[in-house]
Amino acid sequence: MPRHTPDQPPDTQPTAPLPAAFLHAAVTVDLVVFTILDADLKILLIQRREPPFVGHWALPGGFLRSDGGLGEDLDAAARRELQEETGLPPAGMYLAQLGTYGKPDRDPRGRVVSVAYFALVRPDLAPFVAAGGDAANATWHSVSELARLSLAFDHAAMIAAAQARLRQELDTTGIAFELVPATFTTPELRAVHDVIKGIPSDPGNFRRKFQAMITDGLIEQAPGKRITGGKPAMVYRFRQQPTESS
Amino acid sequence: MPRHTPDQPPDTQPTAPLPAAFLHAAVTVDLVVFTILDADLKILLIQRREPPFVGHWALPGGFLRSDGGLGEDLDAAARRELQEETGLPPAGMYLAQLGTYGKPDRDPRGRVVSVAYFALVRPDLAPFVAAGGDAANATWHSVSELARLSLAFDHAAMIAAAQARLRQELDTTGIAFELVPATFTTPELRAVHDVIKGIPSDPGNFRRKFQAMITDGLIEQAPGKRITGGKPAMVYRFRQQPTESS
DNA sequence: CCAAAAGTGTTAACAGTACACCCATGG
DNA sequence: CCATGGGTGTACTGTTAACACTTTTGG
């Protein structure tokens, strides 16, 4: 077994430039942005104005910028695009990498490798996103109606992957908290689960899981009650900051 | 809400070439290749001969090839590199995308975006991999001893992510089957779980979960028994092909 | 007082865990 | 016949699921 004996520290090594013979690809980030509106899971789509796929619906996103130097970080680019297309502050929003799509023919303009991200927008902020930003014609679409739209590039595959991941992370991580306002009630959080899972869950049993989160110190009661036509619900908020992206 | 009215089918649209102003990055694939050897979780590392990071240990991988045209698919490139570095047939090996690493300064040679994959090699094939391939000095390293090595680039982060994913997928998917030979016994599969989880599990209880897989039609008994010093163990095999990559 | 919706109680079914025990083989 | 390790039985516990029931509001 050979020993590990670096000749010199990596930082001071001569950095031979990258051979131009290697393939160089344009890099984009695409965002699958979810929210819940009208008790329905929605994603944000924009309508394309430039070729290719003029008129088709597509995920918000764009090319990595070079900014003169080596260019920007992938995560930073995703946050920047999210802000540009939604007008929302880039911090404090759930954003995670989903996967990378790089089939040679996925973009007719040339070799483009796209890093897909998935983001969650709180429903109280969702109505404002379409208005702002430089992405004209950005609208929320119900995921149940996506089959009718012919989406640009391989964006349909990205959405499918994002939806699978959303479902999977729902019961393993605290991702549901990213889809309710800062203060919320038990039935509101339950509605998030029901919409994503597709089937309604038992109100009583859900409350017990909720109770466990309170005793675990994850959630605390907030002042006020919420009137909904029946018995008013208690209002809660998180104790620790909700999950941030990596 | 705007209607969806594409001007023309996407395939016949004029494909304006990609503006050169956009950042173009070199693309690599890096492979976190796991196996189990000597009841220990191991990963395959190569020792670098070229700058940067000469002498450091690194993940096997390499640049996407352009092959004259638009270049190869990401998954295909990962399989190709896996074959080149291990000498194993590219088909029938578990391979899945892990994540993409693209910090601007992660490679001193320039802007390089790396797509990390993770792969699993059956232990009966593992002893042969180091010999073949064009990657000189490829050896298996116990994951518990990686802390001592200073790894090239951001490969330590990739390995950490791969290990987390391996743990997570262990009890949600049939990934453990990719780390035993084609025929195997109950205690052999249990050993895989124990090594990855880090704690030994109850032989009796594990057998019952195993039984459930048999009644579910996932596993069937194979002829022969395995002698190990005590009561011989029955030998099993899969009924359906083990999980393939996407 | 009645409908609606939040929240509580109760119980049955199931899954996970611990551990005692039996079985088949080699030495 | 004994040590070794595979395989079975069983009791216990915690979690989930189903559903009846109580509570608090608005009309």
Question: Has residue A127 got a pLDDT over 50?
Answer: yes
Q: Which residues 165-194 of A have a C-beta within 8 angstroms of B?
A: none
Q: Does A115 lie at the interface with B, CB-CB under 8 angstroms? A: yes
Percent of chain B whose pLDDT exceeds 90: 69
Q: Quote the pLDDT of residue B245.
A: 45
Question: Has residue A8 got a pLDDT over 50?
Answer: no
Question: Which tens digit of pLDDT belongs to each residue from B52-81?
Answer: 999 899 999 999 998 778 889 999 999 999
Give the separation between CA A31 and CA A29, rounded to whole angstroms: 7
How confident is residue A90, by pLDDT bands cut at 50, 70 and 90? confident
Distances (CA, A) of B69 to A22, A30, B16, B57, B75: 12, 24, 17, 32, 17
Which of these ranges, A46-60, A158-172, B16-30, B81-95, has the smallest mean pLDDT? B16-30
Tokens of A134: 């430089």
Q: Does A56 lie at the interface with B, CB-CB under 8 angstroms? A: yes
Q: Quote the pLDDT of residue A94.
A: 95
Q: Which nucleotides of D are covered by protein (CB under 7 A)?
A: 3-10, 16-20, 23-26
Q: Which of A8, A11, A65 sits opposite B23 (nearest CB)?
A: A65
Q: Which of A101, A110, A152 sits opposite B18 (nearest CB)?
A: A110
Mean pLDDT of the residues in chain B: 88
Q: Quote the pLDDT of residue B151.
A: 95
Across A186-192, average pLDDT: 97
DSSP 8-state assignment for residue B125? T
In the structure, how far is the CA atom of residue A188 from the C1' atom of nucleotide C3, in angstroms?
21
Could you tell me which residue, A22 or A61, shows the higher pLDDT?
A61
Give the separation between CA A154 and CA A176, rounded to whole angstroms: 27
Residue pair A133/A86 in contact by the 8 Å Cβ criterion:
yes
Residue pair A214/A220 in contact by the 8 Å Cβ criterion:
yes
Could you tell me which residue, A207 or A84, shows the higher pLDDT?
A207
Q: B175-238 adopts what CATH topology?
A: Arc Repressor Mutant, subunit A (1.10.10)
How confident is residue A172, by pLDDT bands cut at 50, 70 and 90? very high
Q: Quote the pLDDT of residue A113.
A: 97
Q: Quote the pLDDT of residue B7.
A: 46
Domains A26-170 and A175-238 are alike in CATH topology: no
Give the separation between CA B187 and CA B207, rounded to whole angstroms: 8
Q: Which of B6, B23, B97 sits opposite A56 (nearest CB)?
A: B6
Residue pair A116/A100 in contact by the 8 Å Cβ criterion:
yes
Question: A172-181 in b/e burial notation, b at 16+ Cβ within 10 A?
Answer: eebbbbbbbe
Question: Has residue B26 got a pLDDT over 70?
Answer: yes
Q: Quote the pLDDT of residue A15.
A: 59
Give the separation between CA B189 and CA A67, rounded to whole angstroms: 52
Question: Which tens digit of pLDDT belongs to each residue from A206-224?
Answer: 999 999 999 999 999 999 9
Question: Has residue A184 got a pLDDT over 90?
Answer: yes
Q: Quote the pLDDT of residue B191.
A: 97
Domain locations along chain A = 26-170, 175-238
CA distance B229 to chain A (A): 32
Question: Has residue B3 got a pLDDT over 90?
Answer: no
Across A54-68, average pLDDT: 90
- Give the residue nearest to nucleotide D17 (CA to C1'): A205
Residue pair A48/A54 in contact by the 8 Å Cβ criterion:
yes
CA distance B226 to chain A (A): 32
Contacts of A44 in chain B (CB under 8 A): none
* Nearest in space to B18 (alpha carbons), one of A81, A19, A125, A109: A109
Q: Does B139 lie at the interface with A, CB-CB under 8 angstroms? A: yes
Question: Which tens digit of pLDDT belongs to each residue from B193-229?
Answer: 999 999 999 999 999 999 999 999 999 999 999 998 8
CATH architecture classification, A26-170: Alpha-Beta Complex (3.90)
Q: Does A110 lie at the interface with B, CB-CB under 8 angstroms? A: yes
Question: Has residue B146 got a pLDDT over 90?
Answer: yes
Q: Quote the pLDDT of residue B70.
A: 85
Q: Quote the pLDDT of residue B4.
A: 45
CA distance B16 to chain A (A): 6
